[in-house]
Amino acid sequence: LTKKAGKLILGFDVVKEALEKKTAGLVLLAKDLSPKSRKEIVLVCEKNGAPYKTLPFTMDEVWYLAGKRAGIIGVSDAGLANKLAQLTDDLIKEESQL
């Protein structure tokens, strides 16, 4: 839904730019994102006051879902960002109970 609405930002550089311009409301990280990339984007998120969540998906699974292989995903719509944050939390809870 976020992709169809044109509110999905994929990749480190474009997400970083969106964070700095305050146009990204949420950053989602693939579970297999490299520690270096994770550390760098988390610092940018914290500097700009943007929330971030780790998805229970790999970069290949993101590729299947979004059409582009990426470990860092930004959401540029506040309403969609809030809903995705909630759904991500619910999904993580479900996986931890399995």
Q: What is the 3-state secondary structure (H, E, C) of 12-55?
A: HHHHHHHHHCCCCCEEEECCCCCHHHHHHHHHHHHHHCCCEEEC
- pTM, two decimals, is 0.81
What pLDDT, on a 0 to 100 scale, did the predictor assign at position 30? 94
Over the stretch 15-53, which tens digit does the pLDDT of each residue have? 999 999 999 989 999 999 999 999 999 999 999 999 999
Token readout for 56 is 């229970």
Higher pLDDT, 88 or 57: 57
Query: CB atoms < 10 A from the CB of 69, how many?
Result: 15
